[in-house]
């Protein structure tokens, strides 16, 4: 009997997480200015975890037929329409409108997990990257590893380099890869702990595709910081993040081959870490051009809500009731 058939929401009966008022006050001020009236409905979703939804990304390296047949009976349906510009048949992700989640499967040495639970918006950067078999791929800030796993659901890269600078997060990344990817393929994946801002100088023009899922203000988790001192420190350090993100992007561009593509993503609503960083890159790097991803956004607009008024090379997923995915910012660039 599959563990995955136990669909009761584990959060029921548990004490609900407490909002960190320091963070909420900060967000209230910033996002009311940046998003206007939209912030109120976004805030209502972000501050109420019981309404959150979780997508189920199936692992093609395990036998998931029984699970896949069961999901529609439980109200799940495919997250992405076939009309997407890029949607490999091997990438299978299911969602449902009702809140709740499957129990997460525990890591067991020598046994692959059947599925990965995630925010469905996390797959949009992977779909925007459009990795094809044989391409050399760099996941610059890869922990905890969900997007790396998703890339391998889509295609078999020629060389796949997963990098994570932080030691603790690097161990988390390694465990995720071991939990989802079989041994023969793991041997073809290079996992490193390099400084992401230096990779471009150390490995110039080596990759066809680069994903920069940058360290950012994680709006969902920051709102529930249990340590007020840590939360206050995060908010102070927040101002430095855009500088780091810019340096990571510069490094990623150097690591790209001419003609290669780069996708930048964050899980924050913050304009300073999103559009402002991309605009700075476009204004300071003459060898990159924006890539239109509006067709992808249009194709998934039934399941995802987007901020209007964005440029064609970027999108921002806004959580709303019934479609609680995000925040997720995605932008795509090409090296000329």
**Domain of residue 126, CATH code:** 3.40.50.150
147 is an annotated ligand-binding site residue: yes
User: Whose CA is closest to 152, among 171, 133, 165?
Assistant: 133
Q: Is residue 135 part of a domain?
A: yes
Instruction: Provide the residue-wise pLDDT of the chain in tens; the chain has 336 residues.
Output: 333 334 334 434 344 679 999 999 999 999 999 999 999 999 999 999 999 999 999 999 998 899 999 999 999 999 999 999 999 999 999 999 889 888 889 888 889 999 999 999 999 999 999 999 999 999 999 999 999 999 999 999 999 999 999 999 999 999 999 999 999 899 889 999 999 999 999 999 999 999 999 999 999 999 998 889 999 999 999 999 999 999 999 999 999 999 999 999 999 999 999 999 999 999 999 999 999 999 999 999 999 999 999 999 999 999 999 899 999 999 999 999
Q: Is residue 293 part of a domain?
A: yes
- C-alpha 53/C-alpha 220 separation (Å) is 13
> Looking at residue 12, what is its pLDDT?
42
Per-residue pLDDT tens over the stretch 128-151: 999 999 999 999 999 999 999 999
> pTM for this structure?
0.94
DSSP 8-class letter at 97: S
3-state secondary structure of 301: coil
> Domain of 312?
21-335
146 is an annotated ligand-binding site residue: yes
Q: Is residue 91 part of a domain?
A: yes
Contact 196, 202 (CB under 8 A): no
Q: Is residue 272 part of a domain?
A: yes
Per-residue pLDDT tens over the stretch 5-35: 343 344 343 446 799 999 999 999 999 999 9
Q: Is residue 8 part of a domain?
A: no
> Looking at residue 11, what is its pLDDT?
39
Q: Is residue 127 part of a domain?
A: yes
**Secondary structure element (H or E) that encloses residue 314, with its range:** strand 314-317
> Looking at residue 7, what is its pLDDT?
38
Burial of 30 (0-12, 13-18, 19+ CB in 10 A): middle
145 is an annotated ligand-binding site residue: yes
The catalytic residues are 267
Q: Is residue 6 part of a domain?
A: no
Query: How many independent structural domains does the chain possess?
Result: 1
Contact 87, 80 (CB under 8 A): yes
Q: Is residue 156 part of a domain?
A: yes
- C-alpha 222/C-alpha 22 separation (Å) is 10
144 is an annotated ligand-binding site residue: yes
Q: What share of the chain is helix, strand, coil (3-state, %, to 5)?
A: 40, 20, 40
DSSP 8-class letter at 187: T
142 is an annotated ligand-binding site residue: yes
């Amino acid at each position: 009997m599959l563990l995955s058939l136990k669909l009761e929401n584990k959060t029921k009966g548990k004490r609900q997480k407490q909002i960190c008022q320091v963070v909420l006050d900060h967000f209230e001020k910033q996002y009311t200015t940046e998003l206007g009236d939209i912030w109120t409905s976004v805030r209502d979703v972000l501050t109420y975890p019981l309404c959150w939804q979780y997508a189920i990304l199936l692992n093609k390296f395990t036998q998931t037929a029984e699970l896949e047949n069961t999901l529609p009976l439980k109200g799940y349906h495919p997250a992405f329409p076939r009309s997407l510009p890029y949607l490999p048949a091997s990438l299978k992700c299911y969602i449902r409108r009702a809140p709740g989640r499957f129990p997460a499967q525990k890591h067991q040495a020598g046994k692959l997990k059947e599925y990965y639970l995630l925010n469905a918006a996390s797959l949009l950067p992977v779909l925007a990257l459009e990795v094809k078999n044989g391409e050399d791929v760099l996941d610059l800030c890869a922990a905890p590893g969900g997007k790396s796993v998703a890339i391998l659901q889509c295609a078999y890269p020629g060389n796949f380099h997963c990098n994570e600078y932080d030691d603790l997060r690097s161990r988390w990344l390694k465990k995720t890869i071991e939990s989802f990817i079989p041994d023969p393929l793991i041997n073809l994946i290079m996992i490193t702990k390099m400084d992401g801002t230096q990779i471009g100088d150390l490995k110039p023009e080596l990759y066809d595709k680069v994903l920069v899922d940058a360290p950012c203000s994680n709006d969902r988790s920051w709102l529930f910081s249990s340590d007020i001192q840590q939360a206050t420190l995060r908010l102070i350090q927040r101002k430095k993040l855009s500088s780091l993100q810019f340096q990571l992007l510069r490094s990623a561009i150097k690591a790209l081959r001419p003609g290669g593509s780069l996708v930048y993503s964050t899980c924050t609503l913050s304009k300073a870490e999103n559009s402002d960083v991309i605009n700075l890159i476009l204004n300071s790097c003459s060898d990159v051009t924006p890539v239109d991803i509006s067709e992808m956004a249009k194709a998934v607009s039934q399941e995802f809500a987007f901020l209007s008024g964005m440029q064609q090379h970027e999108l921002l997923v806004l959580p709303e009731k019934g479609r609680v995915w995000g925040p997720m910012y995605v932008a795509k660039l090409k090296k000329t």
